[in-house]
Amino acid sequence: MVSNRLAALADAMTLEEQVSLLSGEDFWSLPAVDRLGIGKLRVTDGPNGARGSGSLVGGVKSAAFPVGIAIGASFDPALAREIGAAIAEEVKSKGAHVSLAPTVNIHRSVTNGRNFECYSEDPELTAALAVGYVEGLQSRKVSATIKHFAGNESEIERTTMSSEIEERSLREIYLRPFEDAVKKAGTWAVMSSYNRLNGTYTSENQWLLTDVLRKDWGFDGVVMSDWFGSHSTAETVNAGLNLEMPGPARDRGEKLVAAVEAGTVTRETIRARVLDILLLMERTGALDEKTAFEEHADDRPEHRALIRRAGAAGTVLLKNADGLLPLAETAGKIAIIGPNAKTAQIMGGGSAQLNPHYRVSPFDALADRLGADRLVYAKGCTNHRWEPVWTGDIAVDYFANATLSGDPAHAETVNDANMFWIPPFAGGKVDPHRFSARLSGTFVPDASGLHRFGMHSAGLSKLFVDGKCIIDLWDGWTRGRTFFEEGSDEVTADITLEAGKAYAVTIEFACGAAKSLGLSALRAGVSRPLGDDDIAAAAEAAATAETAIVFVGRSGEWDTEGSDLEDITLPGRQDELVAAVAKANPRTIVVLQTGGPVEMPWLDDVPAVLQAWYPGQEAGNAIADVLFGDAEPGGRLPQTFPKRFRDNPTFRQDPEIYPGLDGKVRYQEGLFIGYRHYDQQGIDPMFPFGYGLSYTDFDCGSLDLDEDETGFLARIAVTNPGVRAGSTVLQIYVGDDEASVERPVRELKGFAKIELAAGESREIIIALPPRAFAFYDTTIGAFRIEAGRFTVSAGFSATDLRTSAAIDMPEMILD
């Protein structure tokens, strides 16, 4: 409800002042209106922390929380609420009022580069976690910005692609989390997606932003564009987009004033959009905030503890033959092997990146726990997508032209060649759309032999070693799949180097022609390629140990915004590495860190597998806690793991279904994504949705359904007959036995995270409201229950259903 004060402020503004609040002033903030005492609203990226106003790399340090899919694996809305509340404190430490989070798009495919940032393939699980996260954030007067609204389930040509989705699938699957975020959590902000929805950009889609969001759901907050994701003036404002981001204004400002004067946008519409902005400022305290902008790196002990606990809560035990896990503290020598052993893979890539307070690798955590003398280490192989970034004292000279001419306008020193230029930079002394830069430093190899340099850039670039150009992305630059599809693919060059010798490395860069996002960035790296001898050495190390733990997977280079995966095989030679280690040591444990499923050709040959995702800055400690049983492997799969890439729902011969063709991606599978697809097609997955093992066992009794005034209550006793405490997730699925329309065999409609002591039994009650039995009837524009029989099933995964009950439902049209 808009207060009299906000109405008076809106009416006291000139048209120009009103319009000024409908665009960003800069990358992260709205302008203040000093004449009326209106403060400045600031936003910051999320969702696994709060980066602040810095670049995607570097900047003020922040706490790195588990990524979305790890929270999804927890199946724990209460934990999501805790994380949201903690991240609200992080947002405040960065002087901001709005978090650009959570990300709730659905796992339609297994290759979406941003699946790591999203919760699940299931809309009900995603919705419940979103509600918890939003409530946590907003309980501390920090606004959530639930995103990306809607149909952004792929990173391929996402700024122009039209997601072709029929309304029933939208209402039942892709809009579900947004609906609950509005109706149940009362989110204060929504971010429109880059893509078109059924032909119209979401930022100017009136059906989506006004008819559904505001009229159907009663949303009273702010809709902002994704960064550079609005493309018009009158169309976006009239459709319901409050805020064009980032600033300065591109299609608003003077253009919007002119549109009002020309009559294509009414003053009443401008006033309504401004009132939403003022309400958001009032809700977050920004309206009256007069303190100077400051950012702090608050490394809080309570956040450390929460991140560590949440990391374990999302870790999924996929296999545990003969009870190999948990390991005993008295275990003998342990071989620590793999490319993710000494590298802490804590987050995915893209706008969710931040500069963490610290990173705990698995090796460091295990060395701290057991002592380094108990460990033997071998890397075995690499898994990088791009050459490891060149680090050192690197001098950067900036030029106020695109030709590196004249004297530098600004000079600074950086620690690595990973540059992402967000204005203002270079002391504000260059035009961010017309500048050049020269990076200069040295590289000293620690071993002689072949080395590989690599570079990619959003802009023109060249790399020189001792004055010789070995990579040319200046004359031959072409657009690829890096830097949000604004950069080239990596180009590499091999060169033989001598250990201990300092080589002069120089990079020349000039910003290129503006594209969709107008980015300027580059990344350069170098490494010594590994080969057969390194895999053999890893196997030898494993043979000398009692137990071998292989840390494999991907990283934020692969699981990243702006680029989908090409398949779900482990990158590089990691499958060979696992096979070699398993052959050398029968007590081999594989710890996976990925943002989604991978094929596992070695699965039958290893006794234990853990899926640890990207669990935040406490990664190594959280993994160690699970390995040694200090914490339960509390996670259950929020996404089905297929046996083969071709088994997944979007693997089709028709490229328009995925990855898209001629600017369209057609959601032909409709409702049948995730476990619904595997049920429909009769395909056995490698690991089903909701699956996960515990360090104890669980049983459940018969299912009883009791009717109450709000629907039905599912009652079921769950027992832990084991000798140690543990946790599980009870899952309730509903299927319509006699539907007149095509419906999935079963759909998740309720769940509960349960912790039970050894020998404990407890009755679990899960509400099933009428919506749990309904489908969206496009002929009447409402959710509808058809009269007939429904089967309600309970169990511990989509394929492990232990008990069921039938219920007859009457015809019902839902509001």
C-alpha 151/C-alpha 198 separation (Å) is 9
Q: Got the DSSP string for 90-146? A: HHHHTT-SEEE--B-----SS--TTGGGS--S-HHHHHHHHHHHHHHHHTTT-B--E
Helix (H) or strand (E) holding 192: strand 189-192
- C-alpha to C-alpha distance for 682 and 779, rounded to whole angstroms: 30
Q: Are 357 and 346 in contact (CB under 8 A)?
A: no
With beta carbons less than 8 A apart as the criterion, state whether 469 and 531 touch. no
Cβ–Cβ under 8 Å, residues 250 and 244: yes
Residue 419, helix vs strand vs coil:
strand
CA 133 to chain centroid = 14
Which residue carries 């987050």 as its tokens?
347
**765 vs 490, 714, 731, 794, CA distance in Å?**
53, 6, 11, 12
Would you state the structure tokens that stand for residue 458, as one six-digit string? 């959003």
Task: Give the other-Cβ count within 10 Å of 268's Cβ.
Answer: 8
Both structure tokens of 629: 């049983």
Q: If 0-12 CB within 10 Å is exposed, 13-18 middle and 19+ buried, where does residue 600 land?
A: buried
**Beta-carbon count within 10 A of 108 CB:** 27
Which backbone phi and psi does 94 adopt, to 5 degrees? -100, 15
Quick check: is 226 catalytic?
yes
Strands of 588-593's sheet, edge to edge? 316-320, 608-611, 588-593, 547-553, 334-337, 375-378
Task: Compute φ and ψ for 686, nearest 5 degrees.
Answer: -70, -50
Token readout for 38 is 């209106």
User: 305 is written with which tokens?
Assistant: 């503890």
DSSP labels, 257-317: HHHHHHTSS-HHHHHHHHHHHHHHHHHHTGGG--SPP-------HHHHHHHHHHHHHH-EE
Peptide bond just before 102 cis, omega within 30 deg? yes
191's tokens: 């971010």
133 Cβ contact list (under 8 Å, min separation 6): 47, 71, 80, 81, 83, 84, 101, 102, 144
Distance CA 609, CA 612 (A): 10
Q: Which residue, 114, 275, 109, is CA-closest to 194?
A: 114
Per the residue annotation, which of 76, 122, 180, 226 is the catalytic one? 226
Q: Are 494 and 450 in contact (CB under 8 A)?
A: yes
Torsion on CA atoms 328, 332, 336, 342, rounded to nearest 10: 70
Residues in Cβ contact with 650 at an 8 Å cutoff, skipping those fewer than 6 apart: 108, 109, 110, 111, 657, 658, 669
User: What residues are annotated to the active site?
Assistant: 226
